[in-house]
């Protein structure tokens, strides 16, 4: 497993991506060789063709990614794999045609282009079908042992078993002090021993990581045994750290203040603050300039669609609990909350106008928030700002909810790309776990990752309400 932003990524996934990229690149080189059949091809045009092959590889992988072809939960059948792959490569071909039209110097040649599209289509589909056949092979999976048999231990096991290509193989559970549990199945893996058996199991099964998942550890941890395993090169992690790594969120149920205090993360250097603010200013200015014609058109359509103001203004809680005025294009009736007071927005909200439903679906109603970003009320990436009325309620019902106020709220965020739109206390609880993960691991690269993923969510029309 490889760790990035304190999250684990399977070696299988990384190898799959790298091999597929290599195959696409080689397909283009092979197409050039077939087209010209020049014996000194590798010497004469290597650098020019190589650069253009890299561009094609990048565009193809981008298209495959935005077509959800790296999400095995969506792609279930061979037929769907073939159809989606051909669609993605078709989109890539269109994008490349536009790029070639705009920058003629990047043109690889019509003959090479057509041959390479044909070869890489066959190569990509064959590779993906082969990979789907080998996906259940556990050779590269890390073997782990879970210390504990309580709800925390079972919850971790369930989440691992429900995840595809997670890269971990659970050998079993270790009972704290009840030898009668040995041999019994808790979730799917069984209880394989007690504290006295840990060293033997680690050596016999080739365990590479031990997860300590005990709700109460005081006086119950086998410190000598775990220390011996650690000195032998076995990784030891507590349940909160491991949970964060596999899920990209921080589990509130077992969260301890001491873990927040002593864990890595929550870094706010002067450089990172300045870099984030510069990204906000540059990105919001560029988007405002690019989208100005669209915003003017939306404003006109709103006035024609229904009576009321173009912009919707609402108080929201910002950094350090400061209240600011959030700007959006109005997507509801002017009297949407008349006599009702503050209520949660919901999917297919009957208060939305006809145009408003389209604006929400396409996220165009969010564009005026770029002004909030430029003013400094918000950041481009961060937890979504909530209304003061709801914040007071949520602080009473959800632990650590006030920690969201330690950073600027964002137009988009980690919770928005990881969790569907929600409008309840339960949803707020779930999204807080993602928000805490972002606050703990926030960085320039994570922000770029979220922006990149947000574009995919918007293009596919997910999570709208």
Q: Residue 352's pLDDT is what? A: 79
| Of 421, 457, 416, nearest in space to 435 by CA | 416
Give the model's pLDDT for residue 435: 93
Range of the domain at 201: 142-262
Same domain flag for 165 and 40: no
Single residue among 94, 117, 134 that ends a domain in this structure: 134
Summarised one tens digit per residue, pLDDT across range 53-89 is: 899 999 999 998 888 787 766 666 778 888 888 989 9
Are 81 and 157 within one domain? no
- State whether 28 and 60 are in the same domain: yes
Last residue in a domain, options 115, 134, 153: 134
Q: Tokens 């450089």 appear where?
A: 271
Residue 465 lies in a domain: no
Number of domains within the chain: 3
Q: What is the pLDDT of residue 101?
A: 86
Stretch 396-412: mean pLDDT:
91
Tens digit of pLDDT for each residue in 275-323? Answer: 899 989 998 999 899 999 999 999 999 988 888 889 989 999 999 999 9
Which residues, listed in sequence order, are joined to residue 324 by a DSSP beta bridge?
Answer: 316
Asked whether residue 312 falls in the same domain as residue 415, the answer is: yes
Q: Does the pLDDT of residue 331 top 70, yes or no?
A: yes
Do 194 and 312 fall within a single domain?
Answer: no
Give CA–CA dist 277/162, Å, rounded.
39
Q: Specify whether 294 is located in the same domain as 421.
A: yes
Pair (17, 161) in one structural domain: no
Tell me, yes or no, whether 130 and 147 share the same domain. Answer: no
The Cα–Cα gap between 206 and 315 comes to 56
Among the candidates 211, 246, 262, a domain finishes at 262
pLDDT in tens, 413-431: 999 888 877 678 888 899 9
Domain presence at residue 146: yes
Q: What is the largest CA-CA distance in the chain?
A: 81
Does residue 40 lie in a domain region? Answer: yes
Beta partners for 191?
Answer: 173
- Mean pLDDT is lowest, of 20-24, 257-261, 440-444, for 257-261
Q: What pLDDT score does 45 carry?
A: 58
Measured CA distances, 44 to 28, 38, 116 (Å): 16, 9, 19
Question: Based on the domain organization, do 258 and 198 belong to the same domain?
Answer: yes
Residues 6+ apart with CB under 8 A from 83: none
Residue at 230 is within a domain: yes
DSSP string covering 42-95: HHHSHHHHHHHHHHHHHHHHHHHHHTTTT-TTT--SHHHHHHHHHHHHHHHHHH
Q: Are residues 284 and 388 in the same domain?
A: yes
> Is 218 inside a domain boundary?
yes
């Amino acid at each position: 497993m490889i760790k990035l932003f304190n999250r684990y990524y399977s070696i299988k996934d990384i190898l799959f991506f790298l091999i597929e990229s290599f195959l696409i690149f080689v397909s283009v080189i092979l197409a050039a060789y077939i087209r010209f059949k020049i014996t000194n091809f590798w010497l004469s045009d290597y650098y020019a063709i190589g650069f253009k092959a890299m561009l094609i590889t990048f565009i193809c992988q981008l298209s495959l990614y935005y077509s959800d072809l790296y999400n095995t939960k969506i792609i279930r059948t061979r037929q769907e794999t073939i159809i989606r792959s051909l669609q993605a490569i078709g989109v890539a071909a269109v994008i490349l045609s536009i790029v070639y039209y705009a920058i003629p110097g990047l043109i690889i040649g019509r003959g090479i282009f057509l041959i390479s599209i044909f070869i890489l289509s066959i190569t990509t589909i064959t590779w993906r079908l082969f990979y789907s056949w080998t996906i259940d092979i556990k050779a590269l999976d890390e073997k782990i042992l879970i210390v504990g048999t309580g709800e925390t231990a079972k919850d971790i096991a369930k989440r691992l078993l429900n995840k595809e290509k997670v890269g971990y193989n659970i050998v079993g559970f270790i009972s704290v002090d009840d030898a009668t549990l040995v041999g019994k199945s808790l979730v799917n893996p069984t209880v394989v021993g007690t504290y006295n058996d840990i060293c033997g199991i680690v050596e016999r099964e080739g365990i590479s990581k031990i997860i300590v998942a005990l709700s109460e550890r005081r006086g119950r941890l086998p410190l000598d045994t775990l220390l011996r395993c650690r000195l032998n090169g076995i990784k030891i992690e507590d349940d909160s750290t491991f949970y964060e790594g596999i899920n990209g969120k921080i589990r509130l149920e077992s969260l301890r203040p001491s873990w927040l205090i002593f864990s890595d993360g929550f870094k706010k250097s002067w450089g990172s603050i300045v870099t984030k603010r510069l990204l906000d200013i540059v990105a919001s200015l560029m988007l405002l300039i690019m989208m100005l014609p669209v915003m003017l058109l939306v404003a006109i359509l709103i006035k024609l669609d229904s009576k009321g103001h173009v912009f919707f203004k609402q108080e929201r809680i910002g950094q350090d609990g400061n209240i600011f005025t959030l700007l959006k294009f109005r997507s509801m009736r002017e009297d949407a909350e008349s006599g009702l007071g503050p209520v949660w927005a919901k999917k297919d909200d009957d208060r939305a106008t006809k145009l408003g439903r389209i604006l929400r679906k396409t996220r165009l109603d969010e564009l005026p928030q770029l002004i909030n970003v430029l003013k400094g009320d918000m950041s481009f990436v961060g937890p979504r700002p909530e209304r003061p009325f709801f914040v007071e309620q949520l602080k009473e019902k959800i632990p650590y909810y006030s920690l969201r106020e330690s950073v600027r709220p964002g137009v988009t965020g980690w919770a928005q790309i990881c969790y569907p739109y929600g409008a309840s206390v339960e949803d707020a609880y779930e999204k807080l776990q993602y928000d805490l993960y972002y606050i703990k691991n926030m960085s320039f690269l994570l922000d770029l990752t979220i922006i990149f993923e947000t574009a995919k969510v918007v293009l596919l029309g997910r999570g709208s309400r």
